[in-house]
Chain A
Amino acid sequence: MKLNGKLLMLSASLLGTVSLLGQAQAQEKTTLRFWSFAVASAPTLQKEVDLFQKANPDIKVEFTTTANPQYAQTLSLAFRSGNAPDVFYIPGDISYQQIIKDKWMLSLNKWATPAWQANFPSGSFVEGDNVIDGQVISAPIYGRGANWIQLYINNKVFRDAGLTDAKGKVRIPKNWDEQRRFAKQILERSSGKVYGLGFAGKGGDFPLFTQAFSIKTSGAPTAEYGFLNYKTGRYEYASNPVFKAWFDHWISMKEDGSFFPESISLNDEQIRVPFTQNRYGMLVSGGWIPNSLKAIDPNFTDYTVAALPTLKGKATTFMPETGGGRQIVLSSQTKNADAAWKLFNFLHSKESATRWVKAGEGNRVYSSTNRYLSGKTAEVVKVAQKDSKLVPNFALLRPQLQEVKPQQVTPNLEFLILAAYTGQLKRADVPSALKKLEDDSNAALEGAVVVAQKNNIKVTLKDFAFPSWNPLVDQTTAK
Chain B
Amino acid sequence: MQVQTSPRAAHIYTKRRPTLLTRTKGALWSYLLLLPAAALVLTFVILPLLASYPYTLYNWSGIGQPEQYVGLDNFVRVSADPYFWAAFRRTFTYAAFLVPIQLTLALILALVLNNPKLRGSSVYRAIFFSPVVTSQAVVGIVLTFLLNSFNGPLTQLGRGLGWLGKTDSISIIGDPRFTFAAIIAVGIWHSLGINLIYFLAALQSIPQELYEAARIDGASARQEFWHITVPSLRAPGLIIVFLAVLGSLGVFELVVVMAGTGASGMLSNSEVVSTYIYRNAFTFSGGGNVGFASAAALFMGFITLLLSLVQLVVLRRFGVQRKGFEDSAGKPETRDPTKEARA
Contact A264 B285 (CB under 8 A): no
Does the CB pair B64–A102 fall under 8 Å?
Answer: yes
User: Of the candidates A76, A261, A419, which one forms a contact with B267 in the assembled complex, judged by CB atoms under 8 Å apart?
Assistant: A419
Of all chain B residues, the one with the shortest Cβ separation from A70 is B282
Question: CB-defined interface of B238-266 with A at 8 Å, one 1/0 digit per residue?
Answer: 00000000000000000000011111101
**Chain A residues whose CB sits within 8 angstroms of the CB of B81 once the complex forms:** 410
CB contact list, B157-171 vs A, under 8 A: 159, 166-171
Give B170's nearest chain A residue, CB to CB: A261
Check B131 for interface membership: any CB of A closer than 8 A: no
List the A side residues contacting B169 at CB < 8 Å: 257, 261
Is A187 part of the binding interface, using a Cβ–Cβ cutoff of 8 Å?
Answer: yes
Report if B191 contacts A (CB, 8 A). no
B61's contact among A94, A255, A266, A410, by CB below 8 Å, is which?
Answer: A94
- Closest chain B residue to A409 by CB distance? B284
Given contacts A192-B159, A257-B166, contact A206 B61 (CB under 8 A): no
- Structural contact, A192 and B167, CB atoms closer than 8 A: yes
Name the contact of B68 in the complex, choosing from A99, A201, A262, A451 (C-beta under 8 A).
Answer: A451
**Cα–Cα distance between A25 and B157 once the two chains are bound (Å):** 68
Is the pair B68, A424 in contact by a Cβ cutoff of 8 Å? Answer: no
How many residues of chain B get a CB closer than 8 Å to chain A's CBs?
Answer: 46
Interface mask (B131-175 → A, CB under 8 Å = 1, otherwise 0): 000000000000010011001000100010000001111110110
Cβ contacts under 8 Å, A262 to chain B: 148, 151, 171, 174
Say yes or no: is B70 at the interface (Cβ < 8 Å to chain A). Answer: yes
Nearest Cβ in chain A — how far from B280, in angstroms?
Answer: 7
Q: How many angstroms between the C-alpha atoms of A226 and B285 in the bound complex?
A: 9
Task: State whether A265 touches B174 (Cβ < 8 A).
Answer: yes
With both beta carbons as reference points, the residue of chain B lying nearest to A208 in the complex is identified as B263
A204 touches B59 (CB 8 A): no
State whether A264 touches B174 (Cβ < 8 A).
yes
Assess whether B289 is interfacial by the CB under 8 Å rule: yes
Chain B interface mostly: loop
Q: Which residues on B sit within 8 Å (CB–CB) of A470?
A: none
B282 touches A69 (CB 8 A): yes
Q: How large is the interface on A (under 10, 10 to 19, 20 to 34, 35 or more residues)?
A: 35 or more
Contact with B along A87-98 (1 / 0, CB 8 A): 000000111001
Most B C-beta atoms less than 10 A away, residue of A72, A187, A225, A417: A72
| Minimal beta-carbon separation of B277 from chain A (angstroms) | 13
A474 CB within 8 Å of chain B:
no
Whether a CB of chain B sits under 8 angstroms from the CB of A422 is yes
**Across the interface, do A202 and B259 meet the contact criterion of CB distance under 8 Å?**
yes
Inter-chain contacts of B166 with A (CB < 8 A): 192, 257
B287 contacts A256, C-beta separation under 8 Å: no
- Is A451 in contact with B59, judged by CB distance below 8 angstroms? yes
B267 to chain A, nearest CB (A): 5
Separation of A454 and B67 alpha carbons in the complex (Å): 11
Residues on the B chain within 8 Å of A257, using CB: 166-169
Q: Do B264 and A202 touch (CB < 8 A)?
A: yes
A201 with B266: in contact, given A93-B287, A192-B159, A261-B155 (CB under 8 Å)?
no
Flag B284-297 by CB within 8 Å of A: 1 or 0 each.
11111100100000
Residue in B closest to A94 when the chains form the complex, CB atoms: B63
Is the beta-carbon distance between A205 and B263 smaller than 8 angstroms?
A: yes
Q: Is A405 an interface residue when CB atoms closer than 8 A count as contact?
A: yes
Whether B260 pairs with A76 at a CB distance below 8 angstroms is no
State which of B77, B171, B266 has its C-beta within 8 Å of the C-beta of A261: B171
Q: Which residue of A lies closest to B71 (CB)?
A: A454
A44 partner residues in chain B, CB cutoff 8 A:
none
Bitwise interface map of A from 211 to 241 toward B, beta carbon under 8 Å scored 1, else 0: 0000000000000011000000000000000
The docked-state distance in angstroms from the alpha carbon of A408 to that of B279 is: 10
Check B83 for interface membership: any CB of A closer than 8 A. yes
Whether, in the assembled complex, A13 has its beta carbon less than 8 Å from a beta carbon of chain B, the answer is no
Q: Chain A residues with Cβ under 8 A from B288's Cβ?
A: 408
The smallest C-beta distance from B158 to any residue of chain A, in angstroms, reads 11
Is the Cβ of B144 less than 8 Å from the Cβ of A265? yes
Residues of A within 8 A of B171 (CB): 261-262, 264-265
Looking at the assembled complex, report how far the CB atom of A187 sits from the nearest CB atom of chain B, in whole angstroms.
Answer: 7
Known contacts: A102-B64, A204-B262, A265-B171. The answer to whether A408 contacts B284 by CB under 8 A is yes
Which residues of the other chain, A, contact B62 by a CB distance below 8 angstroms?
73, 76
Give the interface centre of B144, B151, B167, B170 by most chain A CB atoms within 10 Å.
B167
Chain B hits for A415, CB < 8 A? 262-263, 266-267
A384-416 residues with Cβ-Cβ distance < 8 A to B are 405, 407-408, 410-412, 414-415
B124 CB–A CB distance under 8 Å: no
User: Are A418 and B264 neighbours in the complex by a CB distance under 8 Å?
Assistant: yes
Could you tell me if A95 and B155 are in contact, using CB atoms closer than 8 angstroms? no
A255 to B282, CA, bound (A): 33
Chain B nearest CB: distance from A452 CB in Å? 7
Q: Which residue from A225, A261, A417 sits with its C-beta under 8 Å from B286?
A: A225
Query: B167's contact among A187, A201, A417, by CB below 8 Å, is which?
Result: A187
In the assembled complex, A455 has its CB within 8 A of some CB on chain B: yes
Question: Does B31 sit within 8 A of A, measured CB to CB?
Answer: no
22 residue pairs A–B, Cβ–Cβ below 8 Å:
A73-B62, A76-B62, A93-B286, A187-B167, A201-B174, A201-B260, A226-B286, A256-B167, A261-B170, A262-B148, A262-B174, A266-B148, A405-B59, A407-B292, A408-B289, A414-B263, A415-B262, A417-B263, A422-B267, A451-B59, A454-B69, A455-B68
Residues of A within 8 A of B (CB): 69, 72-73, 76, 93-95, 98-99, 101-102, 187, 192, 201-206, 208-209, 225-226, 255-257, 261-267, 405, 407-408, 410-412, 414-415, 417-419, 422, 424, 451-452, 454-455
Can you name 13 extra interface pairs (CB under 8 A) apart from A102-B64, A415-B262, A424-B176? A69-B282, A101-B64, A192-B159, A201-B260, A201-B264, A202-B260, A204-B264, A257-B169, A407-B59, A411-B263, A424-B267, A451-B70, A454-B69
